[in-house]
A and B are shown apart, each in its own frame.
Chain A
Amino acid sequence: MPALLEVEDLHAYYGESHVLQGISLAVPKGEVVALMGRNGAGKTTTMRAIVGLVTPRRGAVRFAGRPLAGLRTYEIAQGGVALVPETRGIFPSLTVLENLTVAARGAGPWTLRRVFETFPRLEQRRKNLGGQLSGGEQQMLSIARALMTHPELLMLDEPGEGLAPIIVQDIHRILANLKDEGVTMLLVEKSFAFATSLADTVYVIGKGQVRWQGPAEGLKAAEDVKSTWLGV
């Protein structure tokens, strides 16, 4: 059975700069896959290419067996791919509640009540404007909002970035729970412990190519990979 998400030989450019030089990866249903690598390795661009925010020059992306080439971003999202961007993308002039309901789509596992049970802090702040939230609350809202679209694939771009350790722990726990519930995830993460404790499979990306792939446990022992491509 093919994986839920298949990325095949993806090439993308920013101007003249060849940022993705043939990325291939697969995210099987129900698994968590992590992309690791240094800044500028091409992790974010890979995610942006999957949702159509970057148009690849070559290669293919298939989701649930369907090629995504030529689809607009909102159509890809409606097809079941959700992205929690590194910048979080909270709408500052919408309330927390509106941020959630504006994304809500059709029937599915994620009701407002279930989201508030998962993120109690958001319920307390539901009437606040998005622009009034702390960084941690914004990250929670960004994840919660993505869940409101009932994604088959949840993509998270550095969910722990710039947050206090205690908040990072919170987010890690929430993602671990989601994993236990069978949510398929593609995770970009620089923190070695965060990524390897969640992921089933890790792809190490460096200079636009996949440099290593394998089970998260295997990466812990691959000292040369870590020192060359992760700087650990």
Chain B
Amino acid sequence: MELVNFLGIQLLNALWLSALLFMLAVGLSVVFGLLDVLNLAHCTLYMIGAYIGFTIANWLGSYWLALAVAPVAVTVVGAVLYVALLRRLRGNHLIQALVTFGLLFVGYDAARMIWGVDQFRMAEPALLSGSFPVFGQGYPVYRLFVFAVGLVTAVALYLGLERTRLGAVVRAGVDDRETAAVLGINIDRAFFIVFCIGTALAGFAGVLAAPIRTVEPGMDVEILIPALVVVVIGGPGSLKGAVLGALIIGTADTFGPVLLPEFSSFTMYAVMAAILLVRPQGLLPVKPAH
């Protein structure tokens, strides 16, 4: 019974972590898969979202306002970054990696200059502050909320891609860019909108994470690696791949440290290596290998 309770709690932990990873990885993945931009600073935008969210919540006392405004602010930052810098680096992954890795340091120092080195934790909203009894203990409601938001986000993105005109335009652009242009479709604009959605999700994830994980310089790097692993094992550019990859890595990253503590830093990579041995193109790639 105790084992069941223990595993049950870990399973719940795996769910919210997977949701968070998904919301980060999906932007990273789609921007890489569609726009051919490897943005290692994607998680810096997540950190900025957490800081801005924390600041808003601190000043104005409203978590919900923070959750609404911070993603918008982060999107503006991301859009400026894209137009001024990332767009010019298309097609050269090495330069992209170097430049955006540099941005990671800029973000780290900027965060230290603006907010200092202190660790913050944002208060969760009163509505979601309680815990509920499950598996023999109280489990925070807020963490389940994060999982629910991740789930809703995944469904919304799926419907957006499959059922809307923008989604059809994006799929057309992925299928055949040249023909899309010949039909009068401005693919660059559609992909830019996709970039902005991915960026907004990074900011959104930052605010969601702020009451669970500490807000501090370096919180971006901490989650960048698992998010990248999700992209790689799911298949770059793939929405379903990001969902599946996030669930796998969220689970591995939760259960690994408690089941095999001495291998905790290794679990995720072992899982990645095992998957890539079997499916080097990722589990659910956008364009299936023939």
Which residues on A are within 8 Å of B, measured CB to CB? 51, 53, 72-74, 77-78, 82-83, 85, 89, 91-94, 98-99, 101-103, 105, 145-146, 149
B175 touches A74 (CB 8 A): no
Closest to A53 in B: B178
Minimum Cβ distance to chain A for residue B87 (Å): 15
> Is A85's CB under 8 angstroms from B182's CB?
yes
Contact A77–B183 (Cβ < 8 Å): yes
Complexed CA–CA distance, A149 and B179 (Å): 13
Asked if B95 lies at the interface with its beta carbon under 8 angstroms from chain A, I say no
Q: Spot the interface stretch: B110-118, B126-134, B164-172, B242-250.
A: B164-172
Q: Are A72 and B182 in contact (CB under 8 A)?
A: no
3 A-B pairs closest in CB distance: A89-B179, A77-B184, A73-B181
Residues A73 and B182 in contact, CB atoms below 8 Å apart? yes
B186 within 8 A of A: yes
Report the minimum CB–CB distance from B166 to chain A (whole Å): 10
Q: What is the CA–CA distance of A101 and B172 in the complex, to the nearest angstrom?
A: 11
A89 near B176 with CB under 8 A, answer yes
Asked if B172 contacts A83 (CB within 8 A), the reply is: no
Residues in B116-175 with C-beta less than 8 Å from chain A: 165, 168-169, 171-172, 174-175
Interface residue tally on B, bucketed by range: 10 to 19
Whether A91 and B175, one on each chain, are in contact in the complex, defined by CB atoms closer than 8 angstroms, is yes
Q: A77 contacts B171, CB within 8 Å? A: no
Asked if A102 and B169 sit within 8 Å, CB to CB, the answer is yes
Residues of A near B181 (CB, < 8 A) are 53, 72-74, 77
Chain A to chain B contacts (Cβ below 8 Å), 22 pairs: A51-B182, A73-B178, A73-B181, A74-B181, A74-B182, A74-B185, A74-B186, A77-B182, A77-B183, A85-B182, A89-B176, A89-B179, A89-B182, A91-B171, A91-B172, A91-B176, A94-B171, A98-B168, A102-B172, A102-B180, A146-B183, A149-B183
Apart from A72-B181, A73-B182, A149-B184, what are 18 other A-B pairs with CB-CB below 8 Å?
Answer: A74-B185, A77-B181, A77-B183, A78-B184, A82-B182, A82-B183, A85-B179, A89-B176, A91-B175, A91-B180, A92-B175, A94-B171, A94-B175, A98-B172, A101-B168, A102-B169, A102-B180, A103-B185
Q: Would you call B187 and A74 a contact (CB within 8 A)?
A: yes
Give every chain B residue within 8 A of A99 (Cβ-Cβ). Answer: 172
CB-based contact B165/A101 at 8 Å: yes
Across the interface, do A103 and B165 meet the contact criterion of CB distance under 8 Å?
A: no
Query: B185 — nearest CB in chain A belongs to which residue?
Result: A74
